[in-house]
Copies of this chain bind each other. A is one copy, B any other.
Amino acid sequence: MQAILDEIVATIGVSNDRGKVADYIPQLACIDPNQLAISVALADGRVFSAGDHQQLFSIQSISKVFTLTIALGKLGDGVWARVGREPSGDPFNSIVQLEHENGKPRNPFINAGAIAIADAIMVGHQPKETLAEILQFVRFIADDESICIDHNVAESELKTGDRNASLAHFMASFGRMNNPVDYVLGTYFHHCSIAMTCQQLAKAGLFLAGDGENPVTGTRVVSARRARRINSLMMMCGHYDGSGEFAYRVGLPGKSGVGGGILAVAPGHASIAVWSPGLDEVGNSKLGTEALEKLVQQTGWSVFA
């Protein structure tokens, strides 16, 4: 495995076509695009890494997998009264679908859906408490107490967060927000600003590869049935309007973030985290996707074979 990862990083890491670093969040715009990391946490507990895997990056939308998991724990199937579970066929920040469907987001991974999920898990708590709870959960599943929120990124997002504010107020206008819009946005921007390394992220996703149980610690995080369902949502909706492309090329459930990270799950085999800041035209890590494509080719982990 180490040899495979080393070769992937060596081959792909020299690419001249690295995509474009997201520039709408100032704090992310200044990241050096010449970075690439991959970590594979196997079901047996071993973790292999290559490239800049000790480098912290902003997990951004990957955090939506974790908040969805928390929301399912709190509300069970009540979550589906708040968001749907179909691919949207639209970009991550589209508002058109919301108007056509009475303010109910198509799925929990587009921005509107994740904001609705943030609102759902606040249930009477203050943003601070909710954030503490989210952070505690991420530390628990990654088995790492050092994971933190990068408040500079969160502040940067707040200042340029008009599109997300628009989505939140739009849902509020349909009576779909239980908490003040400002509180929900604050929570959302902060959980998107959690900073992790590839190693930490791969370990955090291991319960999804293990039918809901972390195979290393033996801790059950969610039921087997729920783990499968979260995986299915990652497959169908994890890459916005590039989800079909990711399924076609990589063949694993995955969730990307605009910071350049992707968490992918090979059920029964491994949890995989990749990171490279340059994005393709629909907003997913360009080299990260290529790295995953190569890894699956060599391991045969595609769920479609």
Contacts and interface: CB of A to CB of B under 8 A. Distances in A.
Contacts of A243: 86-87, 236
Contact of A165 (B90, B100, B169): B169
A60 to B, nearest CB: 17
Interface stretch (A198-206, A224-232, A255-263): A224-232
What does DSSP make chain A's interface, helix, strand, loop or mixed?
A: helix
Nearest to A237: B244
Contact of A166 (B170, B232, B303): B170
B163 A173 contact: yes
Contact of A248 (B85, B96, B167, B241): B85
Interface string A165-180: 1111110110001000
> For A95, A172, A248, which residue has the most chain B Cβ atoms within 10 angstroms?
A248
Q: How large is the interface on A (under 10, 10 to 19, 20 to 34, 35 or more residues)?
A: 35 or more
Interface in A220-250: 224, 227-229, 231-233, 235-237, 241-245, 247-248
Interface of A: 84-90, 94-100, 106-107, 162-163, 165-170, 172-173, 177, 181, 211, 224, 227-229, 231-233, 235-237, 241-245, 247-248, 251, 253, 267-268, 302-305
Given A211-B305, A232-B244, 12 more contacts: A86-B241, A86-B245, A88-B89, A165-B181, A228-B305, A231-B305, A232-B251, A233-B244, A236-B243, A237-B244, A267-B303, A268-B305
